[in-house]
Structure 1
Amino acid sequence: MISKIRFKNFKLFKNWQELEIKPITILIGKNNTGKSAILKLPTMISESLKGEIAEPISLNSKVSIGKKYEELFYNKEILADTVDFEISDEKEKLSISIKGNNRGDNIEIKSYILNDEDIKVNQSDLKGFKHSKIKSLKLVFDYIDAFREFPKEGYITDINGKIDTIGISGLNAFKLLAQYRKENNPLISTISKWFESNFEGWKIEIKEIAASIEGFDFVLSNQKIKNINILNTGSGIRQVLPLIVRSYMPVEDETLIIIEEPESHLHPAAHGNLAQRFVESFLENASKKYLIETHSKNFILRLQALIADPKVNFSNKDVAVYYVDYIEDEQASILERLELDEFGEFTKWPEEIFNESYRELLLLKQNQSDRDDSIN
């Protein structure tokens, strides 16, 4: 699987940036700095390496990277500059430079260097980025959006066919659970036990609708309350269920599971448990790797605690945390790696990240002091 991506003049990133993919790779930063562009970058490269598209990059993928090719270029300078990528795994490295055509409405390959060999190619020689000389470069992914959906009726009837991704909306999680129920797969019990342990005793159950219909309801139960349809529960469980199903779901190939804001709609107390589940998922099966964008301090803190825990076979070498920042003076974003030591401590931490509580506390104290002065 691809282990490193370098890029230049891509979206908000003017200068060379590097993303190393670890078992757990985290993106943090303020809004509108380019985190989503980086989160989607591996999906774009994966599609280009499959060899299924005529153009270098497709704008018609399920994970949208833009409506026009100019949107891929820094400052939309499709006629003035190139967008450059270096993609590597343990065996191969591909360096590719892409330029706009004369009209600026399409793109073409300017240079193509594979393992230090400058290969003269026309786009007709390629399918996407795929060349016959490429042997190992590939990336299998499952991209899950921040806004996960659930069956509008609260049940599933269409459960046929192989399911190998949870999908952008997360709906495949419900189909997969229905398949597990039909097959008496023990993962149903495993997933339910996770919810029972982490959501105050609530268990997930999948029940047949009726003997005459091949369909399944998704309900929650605890020791006192039985069979509440998932539609009638809080958003938290519905939003996190696709992520937990994905974490237990078997994989045939090394897979990068890309998740946008896993903590969406969850109480902060549950964020750490979610981070721990992803780490456990990797420890159970090293073929699963995670690329996660998060705004949760508790999520990061749990990762730090797991690194420090001598009883857990998880170290700072298994994690990469990146801070995405927009530099006003340069009118461009950067991707800065925040190093962790063996005790889970960051060797450097940006002052502006996760210090909102401290600022609000200072404001509270100042306002309390002002009120006291006005009374006296």
Structure 2
Amino acid sequence: MAPQIQAIELARYRGFRDAQRPELLRLNLVYGENNAGKSALVRVPALLAASRTPGRLGLDLGEPVRRAGFQEVRWRGPLPDDADSDLVLGVGLSDGSAWRWTFRWLNSRAVSTIQRIELSTPDERVDFERVDLAAQDPRDAEYVGPQGPQRLVFDGLIPRTGAGDLMDRHRDGLAGALDGVIWLQATRQAPTREGTSLGAQGVLTGSGEGAAARVASDAKLRSAVSAWFLTHAQCRVDVEFLGTDRQRLVLEPVGAPSYAVPFPDSGEGLQQVFPLVVALEHLRRDGGLLCVEEPESHLHPRLQRGLVALIVDVLRAQPAASVLLETHSEVFLIAALAAAVGALPAAVRLYWVEAGKDGAATIEDVPLDPEGRPTTPRLEQAFDTMGVMRRELIQARRAGAQESRSRGG
């Protein structure tokens, strides 16, 4: 089994000016106000996982960053005069290794490059720093490492064999950890009305595209996904054939097996949750890290609770799996706290992301005590809005009643 991602490192990335290193447990929930940096954090593993194009050095700025340019991804606010402006990303893995990449913008070539790559383990450490910044092609770069000058070749972020014994021993572990990353954005794509070609396997993307083809072609996966829908939405997931070469997924309400509803005609909540249920069942089978934005999208609290139950069940069944969620849901918070003292003891972590007055975001760990209670009031304050609104409603009712009595008197 490949190593798991157990820490994320970032600096001068998006709204995170200062170095941050959140550590991950099995179930990790990220809370915060809008535009604080939650999604940027959750997308880091997906960005690294996508940046492995053979022969192409550096970051692949695709869907996880909305195809932004490097200058848009790097921190754009002011820095102290002596502060480093390079973008830094990294991961810590369960095999004890920690990888860190420093990315620099080359104004002369209008491209970014890997300025520095570092790998450390509990017993060893190695780093390479680029020295020929004026090279005509940023991929044709010379680095200085433990043995002096050396030309490195990268497949995205991963150095090819020949970068030294330590990196050669750990590069497959890094590749395996990144292979296990699944990312789903907040707006997800449901199975289409037109369906998919017979035999299509599908690749699960950030939008959820590919989930339908996987379920249609895999009876075991379809049975697992259908079981969740049957329990929580009172309908089965089945395949409907469209001619001789296409098929699509439909929902069959319980008690009406002859009545099938194409997914686009079902409720928005069921459409949005479908790729997530598929991703969780994939996680149950293969392990890895699932990163999800707003899993509660369009879901009634009852189905939110059912979704959390599935997440906890998957994590209990698959020790090589972990989940990183960005959410505004109080249902998820309560369920996570319950899991911390029940099904997942010492395996739940809460984070609060906040942007300061200067625009720089920070990631604050919200520790839990042995009974699963947050030891700081941060999340209690975050969900105080409903309490404030209830008090305002009570005051408005009292004022209205007083006014009515005054007029009647």
The TM-score by the shorter chain falls in which range?
A: 0.7 to 0.9
Say which of 129, 145, 153 aligns to 2:157.
Answer: 129
CA distance in 2, matches of 1:15, 1:217: 46
1:57 aligns with 2:90: no
Say which of 98, 106, 121 aligns to 2:103.
Answer: 98
| Partner AA of 1:38 in structure 2 | L
- CA deviation vs aligned residue, 1:89-140 (integer Å, no higher than 9, x gap): 2332233322221358322333333223232346532423322343232322
Matches within 5 A, 1:120-159: 120-121=129-130, 123-124=139-140, 125-127=152-154, 128-131=156-159, 132=161, 133=163, 134=167, 135=170, 136-138=173-175, 139-140=178-179, 141-153=181-193, 155-159=194-198
In structure 1, runs of 5+ residues without a counterpart are none
Cα offset, 1:51, TM superposition: 5.6
- CA deviation vs aligned residue, 1:207-255 (integer Å, no higher than 9, x gap): 3345x44424412221257323333221111111111122112677542
Counterpart position of 1:119? 128
| Structure 2 counterpart SS, 1:360 | helix
| Cα pair 1:112 1:118 within 8 Å, conserved | yes
Instruction: Provide closer, same or farther for how the CA distance between residues 120 and 83 of structure 1 changes in structure 2, counting only shifts above 3 A.
Output: closer
Instruction: Provide closer, same or farther for how the CA distance between residues 112 and 169 of structure 1 changes in structure 2, counting only shifts above 3 A.
Output: closer
Counterpart position of 2:341? 308
Counterpart position of 1:230? 263
| Structure 2 counterpart SS, 1:119 | strand
Say which of 166, 176, 194 aligns to 2:228.
Answer: 194
| Cα pair 2:284 2:315 within 8 Å, conserved | no
Larger radius of gyration: 2
Counterpart position of 2:205? 167
1:215 aligns with 2:247: yes
Count of matched residue positions in the alignment of Structure 1 and Structure 2: 361
More deviation in 294-303 or 337-346? 337-346
Say which of 36, 47, 50 aligns to 1:47.
Answer: 50
Instruction: Provide closer, same or farther for how the CA distance between residues 221 and 86 of structure 1 changes in structure 2, counting only shifts above 3 A.
Output: closer
| Cα pair 1:274 1:299 within 8 Å, conserved | no
In structure 2, runs of 5+ residues without a counterpart are 132-138, 141-151
The percentage of aligned residue pairs carrying the same residue is 21
Cα offset, 1:145, TM superposition: 1.7
CA distance in 2, matches of 1:349, 1:52: 47
CA distance in 1, matches of 2:174, 2:249: 41
Instruction: Provide closer, same or farther for how the CA distance between residues 282 and 156 of structure 1 changes in structure 2, counting only shifts above 3 A.
Output: same
| Cα pair 2:292 2:324 within 8 Å, conserved | yes
CA distance in 2, matches of 1:111, 1:215: 49
Counterpart position of 2:276? 243
CA distance in 2, matches of 1:66, 1:352: 35
Counterpart position of 2:148? none
Instruction: Provide closer, same or farther for how the CA distance between residues 159 and 323 of structure 1 changes in structure 2, counting only shifts above 3 A.
Output: farther
Counterpart position of 1:87? 91
| Partner AA of 1:148 in structure 2 | R
| Cα pair 1:205 1:221 within 8 Å, conserved | no
Counterpart position of 1:346? 374
| Partner AA of 1:196 in structure 2 | L
Counterpart position of 2:390? 361
| Cα pair 2:287 2:318 within 8 Å, conserved | no
TM-score by length of 2: 0.80
CA RMSD of superposed structures (Å): 2.6
Counterpart position of 2:143? none
Cα offset, 1:32, TM superposition: 0.4
CA distance in 1, matches of 2:369, 2:351: 15
| Structure 2 counterpart SS, 1:352 | helix
| Cα pair 2:284 2:314 within 8 Å, conserved | no
More deviation in 331-340 or 253-262? 253-262
Instruction: Provide closer, same or farther for how the CA distance between residues 342 and 12 of structure 1 changes in structure 2, counting only shifts above 3 A.
Output: same
| Cα pair 2:212 2:249 within 8 Å, conserved | no
TM-score by length of 1: 0.86
| Cα pair 2:191 2:211 within 8 Å, conserved | no
Cα offset, 1:289, TM superposition: 2.0
| Structure 2 counterpart SS, 1:262 | coil
